[in-house]
Structure 1
Amino acid sequence: MASGSRRREGKSPELLELSEEGELMPQQQQQPRAPKARQTILPFVEPPIPRPSKYKEFGLPEPKKQLSIKVME
């Protein structure tokens, strides 16, 4: 009997945590901010700022400019 009560106590906190997460997930889906968050992540990945800084450290020319020109041509 004692072991059964302990199991109940262990499950109650887990269920509470899951219920809280479940409430947050549907709210984000309903709000139109979910798609906006994805759009903000895409531009963040597009501009690779750390790459040009590495080239400058090595003293090498930035090949990104050449690639951009080839794409424009």
Structure 2
Amino acid sequence: MLNALSILTGLVSLLIVIPSQIPLLGWGNWLALPIVAMGVVLGALSSKNTGRNFCLVILLVCAVRLSLGGGIF
């Protein structure tokens, strides 16, 4: 059950992250980071690794995008 919630949380954050890859919309990554972190925690509490790994990939995409934009853009 926690794995399914983690995947669902990852999908919701992915819907925020995809448009945030456009220049000047990087602030959406800051909105998605707490949601992804919650998904990672839910995935870590689960007995399976799928949801946690999915959320970690999304977290990596957010972090790289924020570092390339200087944290703002």
Same fold (TM over 0.5): no
**Higher helix content, 1 or 2:** 1
Q: Which has the higher contact order (CA 8 A, sep 6+)?
A: 2
Per the normalisation by structure 1, the TM-score is: 0.31
If the length of structure 2 is used for normalisation, what is the TM-score?
0.31
